[in-house]
Structure 1
Amino acid sequence: MNHPITQRELRNDSGAVLEAVEEGESFIVTRNGTPVAQLNPLKPRAFVTRDELAEIAAEEPALDSAEFFADLDRIVDQDGLLGE
């Protein structure tokens, strides 16, 4: 659940707020009653081993580099995507 907290409360109690975030709580930071930021715990990263990545890549179709770069040249110019 997102707990509202003022900018002043965050400044004065930042240690306690960060401990609460580490324990899984989320906060909406307000300034003059207007929500301006959200503090959430970071999600743990999912690491894939080199062997798992190789297995996943082996299941994908082969990439033709010439075809890939031709497609890329067709849709992107020096300034970004065509048509923007």
Structure 2
Amino acid sequence: MSEVISQRELRNDSGRIMRGLEEGRTFVITRRSEPVGELRPLRRRRFVDAAMLSEVFAGSPEIDAARFRADVDQVLDQDVEPRG
């Protein structure tokens, strides 16, 4: 749930609000008790090192491409004809 804060709180308590954003909290900003905007954290991109990923999946079983395609075709309609 969003925390409602006034324009004055945003100006005077920006440090606390920034820490809240870093923690994933969302804020609704009001002016004269009317909501005027929302502050919410951005999604951060998280990259995984390719070497580490290879190490994690090193013991995984190999994927049979033909069997995988058959499984997908069984579940999804991938016909090239227009649906219409």
Larger radius of gyration: 2
Query: Could you say which structure has the higher strand fraction?
Result: 1
TM-score with structure 2 length normalisation? 0.50
